[in-house]
């Protein structure tokens, strides 16, 4: 696999290359391979001879070290061993991470499931119960090799990346620089790293959940890290303040059956929203040379996107200012 910064990091990952890697890893593919929706890595459904299909994931070079990937795998396995509905990687020979010529690959059992509908009765409570179980395990120890939600991960690196990219229109540079600096001041004042960190899913949103008859199944721990518990909870709140209060009550009713929650962490919700806004735009900007990103986010290169983005950041700064 090509190094980080390569404009076509997965150019060599043809269907034949996927099948060859799967064969070498002992998965016995039957020749059927189907690309699944993924941007940061590359993910495929793989048919197998005389065995259930699996999902194979090829890691982007330079993003995580082997130790970090294996620690992700170990966390998923620890959760699965506690009968928590998390998709854990399969062993490929004597390890869960396979190294082939230019590739690093993992395989996961294919899980059925649909998109979550949290407006269904008791759905948020059930989701909260599952997250409480995950966090009860996550609180037992810290990651050693995975990152923490601290330092430049809280928006500073993202701001620098956007300003250094060629995506930000010239007429928006001053406005973006000013309002992003204001947001960073609010984020720094919140001292996110000062709250008790636990092992988290890290990128906990509806797109990383499959819903089955028994409830949620969590997938893709690729962004797992150390951080405050609220990081895995706040993205499930939407709507007006009354709706969010009701949703939070339902979520926490399930969560606190299995884990305690420091309610003072609620003051971090809008701070973490600002962090995500900054980091998401920077993520696309940094990956823009990868052909998958212009296809997935065609509007990103347009001036109107950046105008709206700066307006959204300004609104978020007002929310944070009002809450300070």
Chain centroid offset of residue 150 CA = 16
Q: Give the tokens for residue 88.
A: 């854990």
Burial class of 3 by CB neighbour count within 10 A (0 to 12, 13 to 18, 19+): exposed
* Cβ neighbour number for residue 215 with a 10 Å cutoff: 19
C-alpha to C-alpha distance for 200 and 59, rounded to whole angstroms? 20
Phi, psi angles (nearest 5°) of residue 231: -60, -35
Residue keyed to tokens 């059925």: 112
Instruction: Give the CA dihedral 59, 61, 67, 72, nearest 10 degrees.
Output: -30
Tell which residue, 64, 93, 96, has the closest CA to residue 80.
Answer: 96
Q: Give the tokens for residue 85.
A: 């509905």
Catalytic residues: 203, 220
Sign of CA dihedral 290, 291, 297, 303: positive
DSSP states of 43-110: EEEEEETTEEEEEEEEPPTTTS-HHHHHHHHHHHHHHHHTT--B-PPPPBTTBSSEEETTEEEEEEE-
C-alpha to C-alpha distance for 204 and 130, rounded to whole angstroms? 12
Note the residue count of the chain: 324
Tell which residue, 322, 198, 311, has the closest CA to residue 270.
Answer: 322
Exposure letters 84-123 (e unless 16+ CB within 10 A, then b): bbbbbbbebeeebbbebeebbbbbbeeeebeebebeeeeb
């Amino acid at each position: 696999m090509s190094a980080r910064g390569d404009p076509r990091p997965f150019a060599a990952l043809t269907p034949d290359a996927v099948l060859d890697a799967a064969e070498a890893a002992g998965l016995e593919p039957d020749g059927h391979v189907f690309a699944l929706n993924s941007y940061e890595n590359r993910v495929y459904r793989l048919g197998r001879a005389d065995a259930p299909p699996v999902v194979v994931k090829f890691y982007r070079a330079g993003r995580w070290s082997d130790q970090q990937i294996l620690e992700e795998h170990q966390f998923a396995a620890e959760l699965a061993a506690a009968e928590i509905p998390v998709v854990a990687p399969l062993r490929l020979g004597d390890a869960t991470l396979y190294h082939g010529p230019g590739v690093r690959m993992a395989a996961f059992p294919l899980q059925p499931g649909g998109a979550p509908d949290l407006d269904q009765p008791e759905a948020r409570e059930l989701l909260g119960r599952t997250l409480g179980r995950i966090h009860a395990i996550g609180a037992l120890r810290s990651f050693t090799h995975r990152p923490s939600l601290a330092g430049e991960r809280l928006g500073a690196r993202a701001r620098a990346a956007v300003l250094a990219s060629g995506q930000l229109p010239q007429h928006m540079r001053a406005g973006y620089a000013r309002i992003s600096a204001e947001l960073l001041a609010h984020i720094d004042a919140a001292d996110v790293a000062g709250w008790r960190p636990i092992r988290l899913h890290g990128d906990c949103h509806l797109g990383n959940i499959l819903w089955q008859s028994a409830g949620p199944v969590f997938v893709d721990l690729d962004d797992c890290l150390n951080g405050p518990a609220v990081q895995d909870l706040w993205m499930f709140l939407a709507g007006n303040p009354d709706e969010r209060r009701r949703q939070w009550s339902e979520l926490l009713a399930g969560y606190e059956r299995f884990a305690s929650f420091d309610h003072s962490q609620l003051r971090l919700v809008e701070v973490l929203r600002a962090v995500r806004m900054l980091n998401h735009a920077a993520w696309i900007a940094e990956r823009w040379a990868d052909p998958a990103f212009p296809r997935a986010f065609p509007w990103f290169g347009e001036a109107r996107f950046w105008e709206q983005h700066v307006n959204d950041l300004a609104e978020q700064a007002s929310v944070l200012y009002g809450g300070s």
